[in-house]
Amino acid sequence: TANSMWGGRFAAGPDAIMEAINASIGFDQRMSAQDIRGSRAHAAMLAAQGIISPSDAEAIREGLLTVLSEIEGGRFTFSTALEDIHMNVEARLKELIGEPAGRLHTARSRNDQVATDFRLWVRDQCDAAVQGLRALIGALLAQAEAGADWVMPGFTHLQTAQPVTWGHHMMAYVEMLGRDIGRFTDARARMNECPLGAAALAGTGFPIDRHATAQALGFDRPTANSLDAVSDRDFALEFLSASAICATHLSRLAEELVIWSSAQFRFVAMSDKWSTGSSIMPQKRNPDAAELIRAKIGRILGAAVALFTVMKGLPLAYSKDMQEDKEQVFDAADTLMLALAAMTGMMSDLTVNRDRLEVAASSGFSTATDLADWLVREAGLPFRDAHHATGALVAAAERRGVDLPDLTLAEMQAVNSAITQQVYAVLGVHNSVASRQSYGGTAPDQVRAQIARWKGAMEGW
Ligand code: ARG
């Protein structure tokens, strides 16, 4: 039988496979609360403008509330024949209240309706991402505070570079995640314009009040161009892009946890709650959660690439291609929130092996730069010459199988006669980190200043 929404022009219903490829109700039912919220705002505005009667508006309002409670109570039967959430809600409304239901769609199209619903949904997810990020930053700040002066090796090329502090390393991630909060906040502010009332694409001849519906739905203003309003999915692309960047940060931290928890490193140990065993190797304690967080970027970036690919080259205005936006965003949002929660749990529960960190920091000639700097400062050598002399000392230590502090003064002076007993002070890892007092450096004082700054910022948000 022909469709009840547009059956006027159609004699027959769709092929079963047409119905299967066309329907979005299987996933867009996740926007039912947003859809009903948008319809209520629209109906109230239509009545305020004298476009529908107050009694029809009241019947619509009550009917929509009933539909919402049916959906929330799991008492609603979604129909694939009714294609999407918009038509499922409207059809049920008609069953409930009869004729007034048919007036709800005045001065509206599913094109502006879906754009509005989806913006409301994505807007909520921006807020959820910020909440998740705040929780993770809180966990990292606690780690940083505990270990503001724990010395660990800093790496470049995953080779020992210079000693840093655990707190400094944690705060590096806080900076990244802080920028992620900025991206979600900016995206939210930009997407906070209401497409409702753009109608199919050209606006409407009815005397609607788009400012009123925008305000009722918590938007800053209506979108300024009706063609753009129904065509734009930038807001979803921005959400996915911010999510992909955030997931990249989580992936890097996850990778470090995987490395650090290995038997070779033993810098950290995940608690039982965040580890898994092996079905064959009894000794195993696997960092599965960290590995999965490391991998989740694949799905999230995949969603971003998928939607970019859908949107590129689409002519204005609405095309059904755009229905492909939702599953990608739903999956990416679910994945990101889960990864944030898992990382927060893991970091809150992490045991840090402070002694191992220090032993590792003291090996691998990690204070060679301090030695070169000392030669510049105390012996007046140009840095390049100091670098060369220090390289020769490292080679001498390596030949003997010892580290720099183990060289005798005579061995040092054989390389450069200006070296005195005082040099040994700078070869210790604690002195090394304490000396790095430049703004943003790894000295514990600097790290504590970073922590204080972030704690203040967190309160301001
Ligand atoms: N389910 C559709 C979507 O997600 C709603 C909009 C349909 N509009 C239309 N003109 N067919 O995009």
Q: Give the model's pLDDT for residue 1.
A: 62
**Residue 228, CA distances (Å) to 195, 198, 324 in order:** 9, 9, 18
- CB neighbours of 315 closer than 8 A, spacing ≥ 6? none
Phi/psi at 171 (nearest 5 deg)? -70, -25
Q: How far is the CA of 199 from the centre of ligand 1 (A)?
A: 12
| Cβ atoms of 418 and 150 closer than 8 Å | no
Residue 129 to residue 156: CA distance in whole angstroms: 31
Nearest atom in ligand 1 to 84's CA: 1
Q: Is the CB of 346 under 6 A from ligand 1?
A: no
Q: What DSSP designation does 276 have?
A: B
Q: How far is the CA of 196 from the centre of ligand 1 (A)?
A: 14
Closest by CA position to 350, among listed 438, 258, 213: 258
Give SS3 for 320: helix
pTM metric for this prediction? 0.94
Q: Give the model's pLDDT for residue 5.
A: 74
Q: What DSSP designation does 319 have?
A: -
Q: How far is the CA of 226 from the centre of ligand 1 (A)?
A: 16
**pLDDT > 90? residue 276:** no
Q: How far is the CA of 318 from the centre of ligand 1 (A)?
A: 8
- What are 98-131's pLDDT values in tens digits? 999 999 999 999 999 999 999 999 999 999 999 9
Tell me which of 55, 278, 319, 363 is the catalytic residue: 278
| Cβ atoms of 302 and 243 closer than 8 Å | no
Alpha-helical segments (H) within 11-159:
16-22, 25-28, 32-48, 54-72, 85-97, 110-146
Residue 292 to residue 200: CA distance in whole angstroms: 42
CA 27 to chain centre: 22
Triad 202, 207, 212: Cα angle to 5°: 95
- What are 383-441's pLDDT values in tens digits? 999 999 999 999 999 999 999 999 999 999 999 999 999 999 999 999 999 999 999 99
**pLDDT > 90? residue 294:** yes
Element containing residue 452 per DSSP (H, E): helix 444-460
| Residue pointed to by tokens 């100091």 | 386
| Encoded tokens for 331 | 């999956």
Torsion, Cα 110 112 117 121, to 10 degrees, reads: 140
- What are 151-164's pLDDT values in tens digits? 999 999 999 999 99
Tell me which of 157, 279, 417, 438 is the catalytic residue: 157
Nearest atom in ligand 1 to 318's CA: 10
**pLDDT > 90? residue 4:** no
Phi/psi at 158 (nearest 5 deg)? 55, 25
- CB neighbours of 368 closer than 8 A, spacing ≥ 6? 390, 391, 393, 394, 404
- Percentages of the chain per state (helix, strand, coil), in multiples of 5: 65, 5, 30
Residue 200 to residue 207: CA distance in whole angstroms: 16
Verify whether residue 278 is a known catalytic residue.
Answer: yes
| Encoded tokens for 120 | 């409301």
Residue 165 to residue 352: CA distance in whole angstroms: 12
Q: Is the CB of 114 under 6 A from ligand 1?
A: yes
CA 334 to chain centre: 11
Triad 314, 319, 323: Cα angle to 5°: 105
